[in-house]
Chain A
Amino acid sequence: MLDMRLYMAQRLSAMAMGPFVLVHIAVMIYAIQGGLSASEILSRTQGSVFWFLFYGLFVVAAGLHGAIGLRVIAHEMLGLKGWSLGAITWGFGIGVIYMGARAVMAVTGL
């Protein structure tokens, strides 16, 4: 169920997510220890193109990676194929990216 392109998309999205996760956790710890309130954090992220790109790409990578992984599980464990397999792959991927995009837009105001 994984051809070359899906395999590469999954590996590359995993590679991208590695640093995203680390930076995300580091910033969380830094922000909490500095005692920043939610509104103080938001005042720093609103309008920031950097955080928009950072979390925007993070969301796209997570959507891609999760959807391809779920596709494999759905095929191997549930025996889905063809139309239903495509529906679950695309549905999950688009769902994650849609929800993530809403969160990114709310946090950055862009």
Chain B
Amino acid sequence: MTAMRKITPSEDATGTTPVLRVSVWRGTAEGGAYEEFEVPQQDNQTILDVVSWIQQYADPTLTYRFACRVGMCGSCAMMVNGKPRWTCRTHVKKVTEGGALTIAPLRNLPVIKDLAADMDPFFDKWVKAGGHHHPSASRHDPMPVITSETPGRVEANAGIECINCSVCYASCDTVAGNPDYLGPAALQRAWTLYNDAKEADREAVLDRVSGAGGCHNCHSQGSCTLYCPNELDPLSAIAGLKRASAKRFFKGGR
């Protein structure tokens, strides 16, 4: 970042610095278009560096979102050459196609402005799928001991590192076709709760994911698992929910 800030646009016009051709989506929910920028190329450069360079040196009105820059906060995801990426940890060299980049707001979400997508529907579904913990004991009860080897804990642990970046949600064609579908991240969260021994009502978790927008709509093609930058596996979590709900259906007819 420090090295990059020293470069001004006039330098790259002399031809000394290789230049990236970057198309950036500009606009609001009402509509917009791609705008072209030329950005000096660096040896080490992330997509977020490119976007920040544009905002700092070419057009200060460019709107985008980031916070941590180290892959923790989940706020910087965008579509890069048509694929959803966490931009702060996506290296330009790995994703450019012939020196060109196309950067757009996340798919499957409304646009606020330019590269900032409105994450509300994503989080609303998180809540709808019952994403918060329902305690089974109070602070006055003794703490149950659950080792990390317990099978349920192993299942839950596989999904808890989610950073809510919505990359999986943007990659999911079922979300694209069915706006009510809860989506991979919210369902994966439900699966971690279902496997949590401290969750008060695990049956209620299954109820919440078995409605018209629930886990049974997943087509199991696994874009979510392919694109999740944290290498989580929502596809398998959703398969787990389907299995658990089918088992319950045969047992109790629900």
Residues of A within 8 A of B (CB): 1-4, 6-8, 11, 72, 75-77
Contact = CB atoms under 8 A, between A and B. Distances in A.
Greatest chain A CB density within 10 A among B177, B180, B210 is at B177
Interface in B169-227: 174, 177-178, 180, 210-212, 214, 216-217
A86 to B, nearest CB: 13
B203 to A, nearest CB: 13
B254 A1 contact: no
B33 interface: no
A8 B178 CA distance: 19
Interface size classification for chain B: 10 to 19
A3 B212 contact: yes
Interface string B216-245: 110000000000000000000000001001
19 contacts: A1-B178, A1-B212, A1-B217, A2-B212, A2-B214, A2-B217, A3-B210, A3-B214, A4-B210, A4-B211, A4-B254, A7-B216, A7-B242, A8-B249, A11-B246, A75-B177, A76-B174, A76-B177, A77-B177
A6 B245 CA distance: 13
Contacts of A8: 246, 249
* Chain A residues touching B, majority SS: helix
Contacts of B217: 1-2, 72
A4 B177 contact: no
B39 to A, nearest CB: 38
Contact of A2 (B177, B216, B249, B254): B216
Contacts of B177: 75-77
Contacts of B245: 4
Q: Which one of B214, B217, B245 has the highest number of Cβ atoms from chain A below 10 Å of its Cβ?
A: B217
Contacts of A11: 246
Contacts of A75: 177-178
Closest 9 A-B residue pairs measured CB to CB? A76-B177, A7-B216, A4-B210, A2-B216, A3-B212, A2-B217, A76-B178, A8-B249, A3-B211
A2 B212 CA distance: 5
B109 to A, nearest CB: 18
A77 B254 CA distance: 29
A74 B177 CA distance: 10
B249 A4 contact: yes
B37 to A, nearest CB: 35
Contacts of B242: 7
A4 B214 contact: yes
Residue among A1, A4, A75 having the largest count of chain B Cβ atoms under 10 Å: A4
B97 to A, nearest CB: 29
A67 B180 CA distance: 20
Contacts of A77: 177
Nearest to B214: A3
Contacts of A6: 216
B205 to A, nearest CB: 13
A100 B238 CA distance: 35
Contacts of B249: 4, 8
